[in-house]
Chain A
Amino acid sequence: MTTLSKDDTTLIRLTLNGREVQGRASPRLLLSDFLRHELGATGTHVGCEHGVCGACTVRVDGVMARSCLMLAMQAEGAQVDTVEGLAPQPDRLSVLQAAFRRHHALQCGFCTAGILMSLDTLLRDEPDADRTRIEEVVGGHLCRCTGYAPIIDAALDAAAELRGGDHV
């Protein structure tokens, strides 16, 4: 078995928002720190580093994950999606992002990246998610600014639009 020292760094390669990237990480480097400080993808935020607040949520191989609870090394070779990859074009918002803006579903925006990642994944995997389901998923995140109601409304609105219906 190879023994790793905390001072050794290894080259980590992964696919970030569809692009191959690489950076060096020591064995104890968190995925959140690797994304933010090694790869410069600072859109993913860190609010607690113990897995409760959800601000650091990213998608790893298609599944929601708290990047503060993963080591960078565990993401070797993975497909990692972050908030920076949500918009279809640099000057256009995704349906979900636009709904957030319309509904004032963010104030300081610090929790937002994580919530967007969770909801984006939810609406992709369960396009028919209803209010209760959405509340459940948003319930895995902490937001101190909005009181959550506009976030739920934005998600419902986006879900309807993505299903091809009208805004609710």
Chain B
Amino acid sequence: MTVRPDTFRSPERVEDAALLTGRAQFVDDLPEPGNCLHLAILRAGEAHAKITLDIAAAQALPGVVAVLTGADVAALTKPLMVGVRLPMECWPIAQDRVRYVGEPVALVVARSRYIAEDALALIDVVYEKLPAVVAPRDALADETVLHESVGSNLVSDRSYRYGDPEAAFEEATHRVEISVSYPRNAVTPIECYGLIAAYDPFEEAYDVTANFQGPFSIHSVISRALKVPGNRLRLRTPPSSGGSYGVKQGIFPYIVLASVAARVAGAPVKWVEDRLEHLTASVSATNRETTLAAAVDAEGRVTALDWDQLEDVGAYIRAPEPATLYRMHGNMCGAYDIQNLSIRNRVVVTNKTPTGLVRGFGGPQVYFALERLMRKIAVTLGLDPLEVIERNLIPAEAFPYRTASGALYDSGDYQKALEIGRTDARLAELLERRDVARAEGRLYGIGYAVAVEPSVSNMGYVSTVLTKEERAKSGPKNGAQATATVALDPLGSVSVHVASAPQGQGHRTVLAGVVGKVLGLPAEAVQVRTDLDTGKDAWSIASGNYSSRFAAAVAGTGKLAATRMRDRLAAIAAPMLGVSAEEVQFEGGMVTAEGAKPIPFARLAATSHWAPGTVPEGAEQALRETVYWTPPQLEAPDEADRVNSSLCHGFIFDFCGVEIDRLTGALRIDRYVTVHDCGRILHQGMVDGQIRGGYANAIGAALYEEYAYDAGGAFLTGTFADYLVPTATEVPAPEIHHLETPSPFTPLGAKGVGEGNCMSTPACLANAASDALGAEILTLPMTPARLRAHFAGEEPAAPEGVKPAAAPGGRGLTGSGEVEIAAPRQTVWDTLLDPETLERIVPGCHGVKKVTDTHFRADVTLGVGPVKGRYTVDVKLTDLVEPQSATLSGGARGALGSGEGSGRVVLEETPEGGTRMRYDYEAQVGGKVAAVGGRMLDGAAKVVIGQFFRALAAQTGGGTAKSGLLDRLMFWRRS
């Protein structure tokens, strides 16, 4: 391998020793202030409802310091700003109406987290249910409107047109169209959100340490919400953060909530999110319904694309949304040379968690549609899919290349990447493997995908959603300020600070190398800090760790700052060495020039501290250099809505072979190849680490992960046993190949590489599955059940007597059964209607009240899997035919969830003088119980019902259930 000037291979990371020995400081490891209190958040169990709260019991619990409702928060804050002009109030906590499961409804501050959570259970929330809007297409119907002030669930509808798409479609030989759905998911980090917030009432200033990841444009959103100037919100990040992948941008509403809680409680407040909270309500990628059509000529050349994207941002359009929809705006033709383009972008709100940054951010949604379409074109025209891709690629000599919608692709050689795939990565071998597998009757397929990976976002791209008139009114937004500071201390050693807020990407290691190289020092001599303090450090709105901006922007800015420092030092050294500044060399810890006696770097570097008077006239003191760098290419959207949405454009060519199990429908990745061009590689190990990580995340999105909701908006995947993150046994190592076409726009020639596989891999795997099955794959994740449906036909009917399980995706409970009780029918009937006996026989019952003759209210403790809680159960009896039958209907309500259902009970006399009781029931369950106990609900229901009948049998048979008594009662049950 040749050694390039600005790069070095894969030195060990300076970050690792602390992480490996347990010494690293994550947010929950930081020392707490002595008077620190703890926050817990009560969250909505219903997707859409008006709420009333009773907090008295929670306030009275010893150890509780404050309980805040939506009104208390609203009194001290303003709604969160949103990116589109809408009369929508976006609060971080519900104001008398909840719009998604998991939405905060009350805050408890207490001496400990355990006490705070105890208090949550004492808050009584009464939900007055409203119909929930779950599917984005249903949202368009506006039968139920989430935000009455807006008047519609459609919160943005914009159309764009570039070139002459109508003419291109007119002239085209073929029109090929595909409609796909991209699901909800997120690269959920293993460390959840965490923060410590404090308020100084005299300075009227907030001080928050949070594992926030940026962009720090959000700092302005938080300051505005808290009604303080920017300099009264000191936002800091901990030294270590346990992964983010975009997701920790979404902590910001909680920064607002905890800040207010600290202010009201009069002491610092700590909050660490738990996993259920995180999966339910942190942040999700947008789910999107896309119809994409291509105008195609006879050779398979695409002359125009027509996009119709329907984006679901959840219950509120929370900053920076609708950015997911616009991040790719310049890249809507992907890697293809297509100059005619039309786009319709619609954004709807639904009763789901608000969306935000997730690795890939908009890319997975776009490439799933685009790359699936390219395969469909090939199939339609009877061409080889790779051939169709190749015919449409942007030619290598076209760079820098301006796309139809305004992106300026900096560099690339896409054909070369395909070549590497064919040769180095042995594509032909894989094709043979497929032939062999198919000859054996196996379901084997090959998929391809190409993707342009944008990085270093233009901070102005979101404003493309506004009309040009609206943009003119709000003023232009553009650029992407990166910053780096290089400082010399009195002993002449070098410190670096950047505002990149990493979560394990090794920024410290890379920067030490980059800065050391410029100053002629070994990387170990340079100390780098990456934790950010907005009260003291250099930062700007683009600061943070997102849009894969580190290598391209931040590391490059580090080089610029180091170079400026070196130039100052050279000017000071020149007279000492008796040469001109240009002739001064920095090497091996020495400062030299031809024919002169070298000066140790540290001595020269200390000059401005100890003897500033000796700095020659015209030269500047060399103490500290802060550089801000923004690329000029990142201009604001133009009059024609063209926007260079990102600075750099890497390239990925993926192909893979997959096999689908004929019996189970499970997809196995046989071989996965990914060819990357991310410009100059700064650290091979870290680049490959980014690729492998993104690829593993994408396998999750493609095959396993989905934030699932039922038709009523109940959230169903609140544990890692329901939300399936792939493990080592599901992630075969990808084969990685590189080529390097340096970016002419970045100081180091590097481009971002962090998100590409999240964009390309789901599409590539779906294309392979399509190839294996000869079927269209139109949605993700490709679960075994979904894939199997393509080749195994309908599920066979359930055997006699077995009720089929509830529809997939729902948490509906159904069951039926019968029991025989050795007691006369009238006795059984009377027992069922007597509150006192019911109290004794209902499992977990603390008391039954007879509200009316046909309405009972019970207080019951029920456990479902890990969640045990107390519920108020209301049962109403109708269709009473004494002593034969009754219909029961009602609901249960508790801190852990709610349910509604109905059942029918029929009593028959048996020849032996006993009673046979038949029953069936149907119930819907929501809240925490549905999110974490869903898998266990059926079983739990059966256990409880079994207990009930056993107790009933014992009761009516006379006396309590002693051992042996059951036998005497000839008890049996079947369900």
Query: Interface on A for B, CB 8 Å cutoff?
Result: 6, 26, 28-29, 36, 41-50, 52-53, 55, 82-84, 86-87, 93, 97, 100-102, 104, 106-113, 116, 135-136, 138-152
B728→A108 contact, CB < 8 A: no
Q: Identify the stretch in B8-16, B254-262, B883-891 within 8 Å (CB) of chain A at 4 or more residues.
A: B8-16
| Residues of B with C-beta under 8 A to A43 | 21-23
A83→B12 contact, CB < 8 A: no
Residues 652-696 of B at the A interface (beta carbon under 8 Å): 685-686, 688-689, 691-696
Q: In the bound complex, what is the Cα–Cα distance between A66 and B245 (angstroms)?
A: 26
Q: In the bound complex, what is the Cα–Cα distance between A42 and B875 (angstroms)?
A: 49
Q: Identify the stretch in B487-495, B500-508, B526-534, B906-914 within 8 Å (CB) of chain A at 4 or more residues.
A: B500-508
**Residue of B505, B719, B725, B727 contacting most chain A CB atoms (<10 Å):** B727
**How many whole Å from B116's CB to the nearest CB in chain A?**
13
Q: Does residue B170 face the partner (Cβ distance < 8 Å to A)?
A: no
A55→B727 contact, CB < 8 A: no
Q: Does residue B697 face the partner (Cβ distance < 8 Å to A)?
A: yes
Query: Interface on B for A, CB 8 Å cutoff?
Result: 10, 12-13, 15-17, 19-24, 26, 28-29, 114, 118, 187-192, 240-245, 274-275, 503-506, 685-686, 688-689, 691-697, 719-721, 725, 727-729, 731, 733-734, 866, 932
Can you list 10 pairs linking A and B with CB atoms under 8 Å apart? A6-B114, A43-B22, A86-B21, A104-B13, A107-B506, A110-B191, A144-B693, A145-B689, A149-B731, A149-B733
A104→B275 contact, CB < 8 A: no
**How many whole Å from B617's CB to the nearest CB in chain A?**
47
B20→A100 contact, CB < 8 A: yes
**Residue of B245, B720, B734 contacting most chain A CB atoms (<10 Å):** B720
| Residues of A with C-beta under 8 A to B691 | 147
Q: In the bound complex, what is the Cα–Cα distance between A113 and B694 (angstroms)?
A: 22
| Residues of A with C-beta under 8 A to B245 | 144
**How many whole Å from B36's CB to the nearest CB in chain A?**
11
A44→B22 contact, CB < 8 A: yes
> Given contacts A110-B242, A149-B692, A151-B728, are A116 and B20 in contact (CB under 8 A)?
yes
Q: Which of A36, A111, A148 contacts B696 (CB 8 A)?
A: A148
Q: In the bound complex, what is the Cα–Cα distance between A147 and B12 (angstroms)?
A: 18
| Residues of B with C-beta under 8 A to A143 | 190
Q: In the bound complex, what is the Cα–Cα distance between A116 and B614 (angstroms)?
A: 54
B20→A106 contact, CB < 8 A: yes
A144→B189 contact, CB < 8 A: yes
Q: How many A-B pairs with Cβ below 8 Å?
A: 176
Q: A110-B191, A113-B22, A142-B725 are in contact. List 18 more A-B contacts (CB 8 A).
A: A36-B28, A41-B22, A47-B191, A47-B192, A48-B275, A49-B275, A87-B20, A104-B10, A104-B686, A108-B189, A108-B243, A110-B190, A111-B242, A139-B727, A141-B728, A144-B189, A147-B733, A147-B734
User: Which residue of chain B lies nearest to A140 when distances are taken between CB atoms in the complex?
Assistant: B727
Q: Which of A48, A55, A107 contacts B693 (CB 8 A)?
A: A107
Q: In the bound complex, what is the Cα–Cα distance between A116 and B689 (angstroms)?
A: 19
Q: In the bound complex, what is the Cα–Cα distance between A148 and B244 (angstroms)?
A: 17
> Given contacts A41-B22, A104-B13, A110-B243, are A144 and B505 in contact (CB under 8 A)?
no
B695→A84 contact, CB < 8 A: no
User: Which residue of chain A lies nearest to B722 when distances are taken between CB atoms in the complex?
Assistant: A52
| Residues of A with C-beta under 8 A to B688 | 104
| Residues of B with C-beta under 8 A to A82 | 22
B190→A55 contact, CB < 8 A: yes
B190→A84 contact, CB < 8 A: no
Q: Which of A29, A87, A142 contacts B727 (CB 8 A)?
A: A142
| Residues of A with C-beta under 8 A to B17 | 93, 101
A108→B240 contact, CB < 8 A: yes
Q: Which of A6, A48, A107, A136 contacts B720 (CB 8 A)?
A: A48
Q: In the bound complex, what is the Cα–Cα distance between A69 and B192 (angstroms)?
A: 18
Q: Which of A48, A53, A84, A108 contacts B504 (CB 8 A)?
A: A108
